[in-house]
Structure 1
Amino acid sequence: MQRLRLSTEGTGEDRGQVGIGTLIVFIAMVLVAAIAAGVLINTAGFLQSSAQATGEQSSDSTTNRVQVVGVTGDYFTDNSEVGVVNVTVKRAPGAGNVDLDKTTIQWIGPSGSYYQLASGGAEGDPDGRFVVSTVQDNDDSQPVLNDVEDRFKISLDLGSTKDLNRGDPFGEPLPEGETATLRITSPSGGMTTEEVVVPKTLSGESAVTL
């Protein structure tokens, strides 16, 4: 007689094998989800940090700048030209500390465009160097504007042949009736633009407001 073989289909043994396979797939899905979540969290943190840094830099470049209090000219040449321009500055409203030794100045005038660095500041090869002197400084912080009451004077020597101890000269003296533009850029990138206008006559004057 032929023996009949009992079928194991649908028994507990098959169900156990199916359960193990499902568990393996489930664990794999959990691991993939955990890895993906970690990547997303790291990416979100990096983007947040980058956005915060960019925001701070943008804020600094618009607020951390100087404000021009006044501009004068003196040391007139024999041809009635302004030989030295003095720019009195203070910290702009809402600005943090501004180090004038790390500040750059661009002069755009009739004789061309020139870049200057502070005489005691960063190394480089500028067209000239300006000198910073104290007008008002209660805590002896010069050349750093660290208080709203600080007032410092920036002196620019416009190609004078005299030994004025006003920094390294650049360009040429500014004639009567001429104009020039000053762009003062703080270390954080905040820019202040000032127009300089020489009076039509300098006769009889020792210094003038520009």
Structure 2
Amino acid sequence: MILVAAIAATLLVSTAGLLQNTAQATSQDSKAQISDQLLVVGATGQVDADGEDRAVDRIDLTVTASPGAGEIDLSKASIEFVGPTNHRTLGYADAARPGAFAVESLVDDDANAPVLNDRSDRFSVLIDLDESMALAPGKRATLRIVGPSGSVKTAIVGAPASLRSYDDGDDIEL
């Protein structure tokens, strides 16, 4: 009887330890999804002028980490682009190109880009839009940035109603 009780006690302690470890891992994942958020502090676009036709063919989001966030490695993030006529998921690349985004540091005292690891870090997330994704005058797009922890930041950007006064390569606020 003592042997059976000892085996049962060992199983209970083992199971309790396993459940505790699982609960801690789940708690840490949930905390990261909530606290490791990005803040989009600015959005600009670049005008592509082809004769009379004008559209925004590049988006530049200025991002930082939210207060209390841990490290956010943007090379492990993805961006879901939902435009007026197109939907695409973009991955990280060393240089911006259609289908991929790039990260440039604006303020990065420890030169650790593309990892946001300090509250003062500011990065530019550069998104080149191909012809099917470009934002015509008055059109909007939704950008969902999914961080490595699963946190999601949504930014809605829109081209001005008229782009006639802008030349090729001009930067505009979105």
TM-score over 0.5 (shorter chain): yes
* Alpha-carbon shift at residue 199 of structure 1 (Å): 1.2
User: Percent of pairs identical after alignment?
Assistant: 41
SS in 2 for 1:41: helix
2:104 is equivalent to residue 133 of structure 1: yes
Which of residues 122, 140, 143 in structure 2 aligns to 1:182?
143
Larger radius of gyration: 1
- For residue 24 of structure 2, the aligned residue among 52, 65, 88 is 52
Residue 63 of structure 1 deviates from its aligned partner by 1.4
Q: Deviations over 1:26-83 (max 9, x none)?
A: xxx1111111111111111100110110010111112112110111011323212101
Unpaired runs of 5+ residues, structure 1, are 1-28, 122-126, 161-170
Aligned to 1:209: 173
Match of 1:158 in 2: 129
Cα distance in 1 between the residues matched to 2:139 and 2:94: 30
What's the TM-score, normalizing by structure 2? 0.90
In terms of mean alpha carbon deviation, does 127-136 or 109-118 score higher? Answer: 127-136
Partner Cα separation in structure 1 for residue 158 and residue 133 of structure 2:
15
Q: Which amino acid aligns with 1:117?
A: G
Letter in 1 for 2:93: S
Q: Tell me the secondary structure at the aligned position of residue 34 of structure 2.
A: helix
Does 2:39 correspond to 1:75?
Answer: no
- Give CA-to-partner distance per residue, 1:166-191, whole Å, 9 cap, x none: xxxxx421011111100001111111
Q: Does the aligned pair in 2 maintain the 1:62–1:191 contact within 8 Å? A: no
- From 93, 101, 123, the equivalent of 2:67 is 93
The answer to whether the Cα contact below 8 Å between 1:65 and 1:185 also exists between their aligned partners in 2 is: no
CA contact (8 A) 2:42 2:63 kept: yes
What is the rounded CA distance, in whole Å, between the counterparts of 2:16 and 2:154 in structure 1? Answer: 39
Which residue identity does 2:162 align to in structure 1?
A: T
Q: Which runs of 5+ in 2 are unaligned?
A: none
Please give the TM-score of this superposition, normalised by the length of structure 1.
Answer: 0.75
Q: What whole-Å deviation, never above 9, does each CA across 1:123-164 have from its counterpart, x for those lacking one?
A: xxxx7111211111111111111111111101111116xxxx
SS in 1 for 2:127: strand
Question: SS at the partner of 2:49?
Answer: coil
How many aligned positions are there? 167
Bigger RCO of structures 1 and 2 (CA < 8 A, at least 6 apart): 2
Matched residue, 2:6: 34
Distance 2:135 2:164 in 1: 14
Aligned-residue CA RMSD in angstroms?
A: 1.5
Task: State the distance in 1 between where 2:56 and 2:109 align.
Answer: 31
Q: Could you tell me whether the CA contact under 8 Å between 2:138 and 2:161 is conserved in 1?
A: yes
Higher helix share: 1
